[in-house]
Amino acid sequence: MPRIIPASLLAVCFFVGCSYDAEPDTPTITLETKTAALDSAMQHLNAGRTVEALAITSKLILRDPNSIDTLEKHAIVLLAEAARVETLGESAIARTRREEALEAYIAVCTHLNVHGETQFSAAQLAHMLGEIELAISLYKQSHEKLKHDGRSALWLAQIDLLSNNWSEANYWITESLTRNPKEPTALISAGLIQANLGDCENALLSTKSAIRMQPNNQNFRLMQARVLRICGDPERAIEILSSLTPSQVVRDEIELCKEIKVNHEH
CATH of the domain at 90: 1.25.40.10
Domain extent at residue 225: 151-266
In the chain, the number of structural domains is: 2
The verdict on 17 and 128 lying in the same domain is: yes
**248 near 225, Cβ under 8 Å?**
no
The verdict on 205 and 177 lying in the same domain is: yes
- The CA-atom distances, in angstroms, between 169 and each of 15, 97, 142, 154, 210 are 23, 32, 17, 9, 18
**51 near 81, Cβ under 8 Å?**
yes
8-state DSSP, 3: -
The verdict on 12 and 132 lying in the same domain is: yes
Last residue of a domain, one of 147, 171, 204: 147
The verdict on 116 and 234 lying in the same domain is: no
Best CA proximity match to 67, nearest among 130, 110, 119: 110
Provide CB contacts within 8 A for 168, sequence distance 6+.
160
**33 near 64, Cβ under 8 Å?**
no
Q: Which mean pLDDT values do the consecutive 10-residue runs of the chain (266 residues) have?
A: 41 38 56 94 97 96 93 97 97 98 96 94 98 98 97 98 97 98 97 98 97 96 97 96 95 94 71
Give the pLDDT score at 266: 59
Give the pLDDT score at 56: 96
Give the pLDDT score at 29: 84
Best CA proximity match to 123, nearest among 110, 111, 109: 109
Q: Where are the alpha helices (DSSP H) in 163-199?
A: 166-179, 184-196
Stated length of the chain: 266
The verdict on 76 and 155 lying in the same domain is: no
The verdict on 95 and 172 lying in the same domain is: no
Last residue of a domain, one of 114, 147, 180: 147
The verdict on 44 and 170 lying in the same domain is: no
- CA dist 234 and 172 (Å) reads 28
